[in-house]
Structure 1
């Protein structure tokens, strides 16, 4: 019996089917538009919004001194221009080098997962600080922006049938402490958009998409397996540790997590398998597809 459907995609070569991304259960009433907060133990609020925003055209991510300092989606050319002008003006005053990245969202493309890396509060830091971020859509995985802390990662997935309609950083003072926004059902937009030279267009990366084959169980652990003839070796495992949140039906594992344990994408795709353990204890693994150039 098949326990898992495991699909591994290289962004530049493979398009994911948006229907299968959102079809994760029996037909039901479309989810209402709700507020979300990535860093809260219960991230999706009961508070609803009567009028959902327009579909986003992209996401702006500012990185300075190796850390993400700002995240903001936009849904119009005017909003893009205002945000970019404000970001450059603010970041220039700090006096150190910075980048403003643009993560594109095409017509019909939906944002389905946000990954963050954070620095926990301590005696030296009164606040938990978000310093790294990555985005997964129906068509692509973004680059990993800013810092990466394997021991301090958080993953946000909208409820089944929904996508992220809007995302923005929440700051305490000048410190990025949360990502918040709206989740719900979006209306496809055909608004064309081309950014100007003030931003760096993200070429994207790749992720490994793991999907539970049955609705009874979610994904508890992801396992990276080193090929060794007939005696494969477990290289590393990542366990879902977001207490209070159910195990995900779909978990997109970003390239950054995997390549920390393989020296290159080619090595990863030629010498490793990716496995998953569900919350019922069942285990399955798959070989990576042929590496596409």
Structure 2
């Protein structure tokens, strides 16, 4: 890896940011952000390969693990935590581990990402097996916590993927299904919470959403299995049932939704009775 260059750490192409007006700062940041979806687009073939194997594993009863540090770990926590309410899957099907544990979600935990053994130790707390898939996330592609975890996964026959922002990184090299999104130098030199983080969020959205569709958690374009955690979602679900059953009575549709707990189950049971 002697020729490995961290593009994410290269100097910003912009100089003297402190002398720019607010409008200039915002415009130039926005211009940089516009390049991110195009970089993600180039990685779609890599994303597709990972999603395909991940869907197969999860259909066979496996789980999805994300593992990362800092911004990458926090983005993973967000994606994993949103799967149960959005798609109605149980907590524990998509699991995110962050270097330093829960404390690191809101505070930087010193040296947590430098421990190459701790990632595997954290995975073992969940009795991980070769049924599962582990995706390591690191903008640099050099985070010891993440690389060490994926190396141990390989030794135990566990399929791995990675999301990085530098080509040819050590993390991508160890992963079975690497995803490399080259977003270039950051607006603020080395601040990978910016374009790199944005690209990771987009890729995580794509992975979890496409997998959940493969698992049958979406019908047509609707979240028919979403958890009814607030009035907005109950209202949305009620209107879905009215549409699916050609039902004009809002209160009757709402009653079915609350009785059966999801749009999918309400429609299935109403159809069976009908």
The normalised TM-score by structure 2 is 0.24
Kindly name which structure, 1 or 2, has the bigger radius of gyration based on alpha carbons.
2
Q: Which protein has the bigger helix share?
A: 2
